[in-house]
Amino acid sequence: MIPTTTVRNTLQIDYLPAELAVTLANDPSVMALIHFTGSASSSQAGGVEITVGLPQLNTQKRVEVWRTQHHISWHQRENITFCTAGEMLFGHVLLEEGSSPNLEHISEQAYRSLLDLTAQQGYPHLIRIWNYFPNINQEQDQQERYKRFCIGRHRACAKSEGFEKRLPAATAIGTHSAGFLIYFLASKTPGQQIENPRQVSAFQYPIIYSPKSPCFSRAILKAWHGQSDLYISGTASVVGHETRHLNDGMGQLQESLHNIQQLLKEASQQTGATVEILQKRMLLKIYLRQVEDLAPTDAQINSLFEPDTPRIYLQADICRQDLLLEIDGYSSFPPG
């Protein structure tokens, strides 16, 4: 039932039918089992299972499963639950915001503790990180919460010199349920930063988007033993630093896919793999602000990617008010 024979040595990420979740939760090869369900009143986490409070729009519900053939050892340090397996450390932090939240402070603390932890454990290179919290577009003390998050994250990341060259690929998305949730992959050895020539690097954005720039790379390429992985950040309809195609979901989709295509080209130039190979092995996570964009988005993705490309659709708030959608990508391919 569960395709265990296909589990890669280092890391195998799949979007599997949600019915398998109970079995997977007890499978010793599973490092992370991520549920996406808007029925959760708050995001949840503990041990191998993480629940992100975002409604899943797929008709056949899926769970995201991270598996490895390495031995997994589990740990808890203060707020961080994590496991190590070979060259990888996977961890998550879930914080309550309380009645008078200070998101700047919460973000800074969360990032400081995960940066400290990964360094102490000997996995100092952040590869990929997901950030989920509610009311991302709402103002809190005259500042949008996404910007407050960026300020706190920047305070923690900018502590080390040359940090712009060591930023992970990232996603920052608004949920409709309580809890500030981060999960991440770190490694003993560095990945390779990929930026998009069509876009200003996020860490160099002008201050209109945030008083302190968003600390992430457009993509990270990582060579593990026996496989190479491309982790593509949440990618939206941004050209230069500006949002394109205002109020036009399908226009934004085209532009986002163009940006992903460009990242695949950049990554392809750094590896032996062709754009076609990278694209053929993609997993996509698609965040839609408007449910009505689901059918046309899915049709468009079917026409550009392999029809069996695994994908999860989530209803979510995107970090800029004017962005209607955003797409995460992951591709794993044989090393060159």
Footprint on this chain of ligand 3EB (rule: CB under 6 A): 131, 170-172, 202, 214, 216, 233-234, 236, 238, 319
Q: How far is the CB of 10 from ligand 3EB (least distance, A)?
A: 25
- Cβ nearer to ligand 3EB, comparing 111 with 216: 216
Q: CB of 34: closest distance to ligand 3EB in angstroms?
A: 18
Nearer to ligand 3EB, 173 or 273 (CB): 173
- Name the residue nearer to ligand 3EB (CB basis): 25 or 250: 250
CA distance 115 to 268: 30
Cβ partners under 8 Å of residue 116, min gap 6: none
Which residues, at least 6 apart from 238, have a Cβ–Cβ distance to it below 8 Å? 199, 244, 255, 259, 323
CB of 320 to ligand 3EB, least distance (A): 6
Which one, of 336, 330, 153, 321, lies nearest residue 235 by Cα? Answer: 330
| Chain centre to alpha carbon of residue 193 | 15
Q: Count other C-beta atoms under 10 Å from residue 108's C-beta.
A: 20
Considering the complex, what minimum distance in angstroms separates the CB of residue 23 from ligand 3EB?
Answer: 33
Nearer to ligand 3EB, 70 or 320 (CB): 320
CB 35 within 8 A of CB 52: yes
Report the distance separating Cα 219 and Cα 211, nearest Å. Answer: 23
CB 180 to ligand 3EB: min, Å = 14
**Least spacing, CB of residue 275 vs ligand 3EB, in Å:** 21
- 48/238 with CB nearer ligand 3EB: 238
Question: Which residue's Cβ lies closest to ligand 3EB?
Answer: 234
Structure tokens of 80?
């961080």
Burial level of 231, CB count in 10 A (0-12/13-18/19+)? buried
Q: Where are the beta strands (DSSP E) in 111-175?
A: 125-134, 139-140, 143-144, 169-175
Nearest to ligand 3EB of 87, 229 (CB atom): 229
Question: Which C-beta is closer to ligand 3EB: that of 183 or that of 216?
Answer: 216
The rounded Cα 264 to chain-centroid distance in angstroms is 17
Beta bridge partners of 333: 228
Which one, 24 or 170, has the nearer CB to ligand 3EB?
170
Q: Do 284 and 305 touch, CB atoms closer than 8 A?
A: yes
> DSSP letter at 207?
T
Minimal distance in Å, beta carbon 40 to ligand 3EB?
22
Q: How far is the CB of 228 from ligand 3EB (least distance, A)?
A: 22
